[in-house]
Structure 1
Amino acid sequence: MDAEAHIAQVQARGYTIVENAIKPDLVDALNEALARIERERDVRPAGNDFEGRHTVRIYNLLAFGAPFDRVPVHPAVLPIVEGVLDAGCLISSLSSIAIDPGEVAQPIHADDQVIPLDKPHRPLVCNSMWALTDFTEPNGATRLVPGSHLKANPEYGGAYDTIPAEMAKGSVLIWDGALWHGGGANRTDRRRMGVAMNYCAGFIRQQENQQLGLDPAQVRGFSPRLQELIGYGVYRGLIGHIDKQSPQQRLTGRGSFRSIWDR
């Protein structure tokens, strides 16, 4: 299935699954890096109903360097996200979600429901879940309500009919942030491991503050497209400029920018 077909699925039912999108070497590198960070930082569950009492989450993953810088610009995922939002999209957050045995289902929610706009509306958020292990119904595969991206927000904690987004290790689930969903319950004896690579439209605030969360010296080493994705670009020639320069120019001394008014 090509990118246009995946985009059409997101528009029609609110989500799509890109099977076997990520090569095994990157999956292994991500798993190894996450295990090391969790061990070195002694990361523990947050202990609340939303983030989970048996779920380990690590936030702001770009700050840890390779291999996480390969995730936001992945060629099997980013073109679909750009088609759902537009090429001016931004990284909203990059985190890991490890659902351990004994975890209960997460409350059904929409990722954009804190944005005070009536629904339905054009996509403002487009998120993805990278399967670093197999995602199955018993081990906590993400629960979805197909077509719900065209409805008002769900009642938080309400009971809804859902389907599991089952997919093989290396696959990626992509959804409109208005889609009702939640992490599943893990009734197995093994961890369900995923990376949440989340994007937003270039005209709204990012979930994680990328400019303060990442050392500018580190950002200088990123590719130009990754610099743009974390917020060092300018949306449609206007939003985010500094004295008619892009933040990217200020950071690196390279590149060019023309204001929307100068075109």
Structure 2
Amino acid sequence: MNMIDAQHHTALATAGWTVLPRLIRSALLDTLVEALGPSLALRDEIRRRNGVLENSAGTLHHLLMDDPCYVELLAELAALEPIFKGYFEGNFILNSYGGVINERDSRSYVQNVHRDIRFGSDTRRFMVNALVMLDDFTLENGATHILPHSQNIQQQPTDEQFYAQAARATGERGSVLLFDSRMWHATGRNTTDAPRRALTLTFTSPFFKPQLDYARLFGYRHLDRCNAWMRQVLGFNARVPESLDEFYVPVEQRFYQRGQD
């Protein structure tokens, strides 16, 4: 781990959050922004059809295979591997891959004070959030509120306590906000006329169930496109065999590889 990575690792371990500036290149950001609109329309149609559209404005889930740019972004996040391995003290997998389009006066559940994992441990960490800023995050357009050092606070703070003490995660587009998933946080209100967009990914220890079967969604037929990072993060090293024939294989062919603890 180099000195910069070590600084971010220390910030995660203490304050519980850190921002890596301008990590993602502009051309990819432009492509991701263009893809978000159709992705949101698809999800809103499904939610409308299934009667679950309320309180979900601008929220997107499980974007991975909507467009090649989402896979490309996940591949570029390999730059975070040293920080993630330091955080987890071992391996990890993708748990969720979502996004948020925060528009003026929009209302959704992500604006409530919340945390993304409801339990913790004094000896190991189970989940980390990675928020990719597709636009500049400013105080005016809804930069995330986050309560420093709150990873060990079990009781949800009142809104008054939270907003009085919370920091704001501002940054330039292409920056990545990392935070311990136990942190109390909330999406800010956008008071501008332009959308404030982000991708919201979470990573967990490999034995956690991902929120969607990303390995199957990506497809075994595409495994030859995977380097070691993608194979690990998509969960191909932490799969469950379906039969005795899949169980009784040489070690290197096993679905659940060593080191996935």
Q: Is TM more than 0.5 here?
A: yes
Matched residue, 1:61? 63
Determine if the alignment matches structure 1 residue 109 to structure 2 residue 134.
Answer: no
Whichever residue aligns with residue 111 of structure 2, its letter is Q
Of 93, 98, 105, which residue of structure 2 is paired with 1:95? Answer: 98
Whichever residue aligns with residue 227 of structure 2, its letter is S
Q: Secondary structure of 1:71's partner?
A: helix
Q: CA RMSD in A?
A: 3.0
Determine if the alignment matches structure 1 residue 124 to structure 2 residue 126.
Answer: yes
Within 5 A, what are the aligned runs for 1:9-158?
Answer: 9-39=11-41, 41=42, 43=44, 47-49=53-55, 52=56, 55-73=57-75, 74-104=77-107, 106-113=111-118, 117=119, 120=122, 122-154=124-156
Deviations 1:149-193 (A, max 9, x none): 122142687751322111111111000111111111111111110
Tell which deviates more after alignment, 57-66 or 92-101. 57-66
Matched residue, 2:181? 177
**Maintained 8 Å contact 1:119/1:151:** no
**Maintained 8 Å contact 2:251/2:257:** no
Matched residue, 1:208? 212
Deviation, structure 1 residue 240: 4.8
**Maintained 8 Å contact 1:120/1:151:** no
Matched residue, 2:235? 231
Task: Please give the alpha-carbon distance, in whole angstroms, between the structure 2 residues aligned to 1:94 and 1:141.
Answer: 19
In structure 1, the gaps of 5 or more residues are 252-256
Deviation, structure 1 residue 205: 1.9
Task: Please give the alpha-carbon distance, in whole angstroms, between the structure 1 residues aligned to 2:12 and 2:168.
Answer: 16
* Gap change, CA 1:156 and 1:2, over 3 Å in 2: same
Deviations 1:37-83 (A, max 9, x none): 335x373786545xx4xx31222221224111122342433322222
Q: TM (normalized to structure 2)?
A: 0.80
Whichever residue aligns with residue 207 of structure 2, its letter is F
In structure 2, the gaps of 5 or more residues are none
Q: Secondary structure of 2:68's partner?
A: coil
Task: Please give the alpha-carbon distance, in whole angstroms, between the structure 2 residues aligned to 1:201 and 1:109.
Answer: 21
Task: Please give the alpha-carbon distance, in whole angstroms, between the structure 1 residues aligned to 2:193 and 2:6.
Answer: 38
Determine if the alignment matches structure 1 residue 221 to structure 2 residue 225.
Answer: yes
Greater helix content: 2
Tell which deviates more after alignment, 241-250 or 192-201. 241-250
**Maintained 8 Å contact 1:20/1:172:** yes
Within 5 A, what are the aligned runs for 1:232-247?
Answer: 232-234=236-238, 240=240, 243=247, 245=249
**Maintained 8 Å contact 1:100/1:192:** yes
Task: Please give the alpha-carbon distance, in whole angstroms, between the structure 2 residues aligned to 1:72 and 1:9.
Answer: 23
- Aligned residues: percent identity? 21
Question: How many residues are matched?
Answer: 243
* Gap change, CA 1:178 and 1:248, over 3 Å in 2: farther
